[in-house]
Amino acid sequence: MEEIVRVVSENWLIAIAVIFAVLLLFYFLFKSFVKLVLILTLVAVAVGGYFYFKHPENRPANLKEAVQKARTAAGQTLEKGRELVDKGRETYEKGKEIVEKGKVALDKGIEKGKVVLDKGLEKGKEVVEKGRDATGNMTKTLGGEKDAGSRQGP
């Protein structure tokens, strides 16, 4: 490490290149942050200028009073925002609980539906068998074959 510092301090071109690289790195890291600060400053100046020229009687007597009012308003806005976030979390949790209850109810409904469907299939099979037997008996009574009712096709 000492060798690197010695080389940089003895060679000014290397020192300049290192400083340039560091500044370039800071520029890319903080480019969006600097843009945001500049934009917010421009907006604050524009809003302040608007109120200064539009309503000169309402402007604060000194800068400290204006800053205090801005802090108070920002604090109130922050508290309202926190309350909204808390309400949003509560609503999200309630919705999550409702979805879980709905899944459980749906699963129970599906299970009950399967049981009812299975019972219906069993009863349907019984009815078909009784119908085949009745058809066979009617055919036998009329003088035909017993399996005539269960045969398919001509």
pLDDT in tens, 4-47: 778 777 877 888 888 889 888 888 878 888 788 888 889 888 88
pTM for this prediction = 0.35
Query: CB-based contacts of 134: which residues, under 8 Å, 6+ apart?
Result: 149
In the chain, the amino acid numbered 1 is M
Q: What is the mean pLDDT of residues 40-69?
A: 77
In the chain, the amino acid numbered 106 is L
Q: How many other CB atoms sit within 10 Å of the CB of residue 140?
A: 14
Q: For residue 34, give Cα distances in angstroms to 19, 37, 40, 67, 122.
A: 20, 5, 10, 22, 75
Structure tokens at 122: 């069993």
pLDDT, position 87: 92
pLDDT in tens, 74-94: 888 888 989 999 998 999 999
Q: Are residues 150 and 131 in contact, defined by beta-carbon separation less than 8 angstroms?
A: no
Residue 65 has pLDDT above 80, yes or no: no
Answer left, alpha or beta for residue 55, where phi above 0 means left and psi between -120 and 50 means alpha.
beta
Question: pLDDT-derived band of residue 154, with 50, 70 and 90 as boundaries?
Answer: very low
- Give me the residue spans of the domains in the chain: 1-59
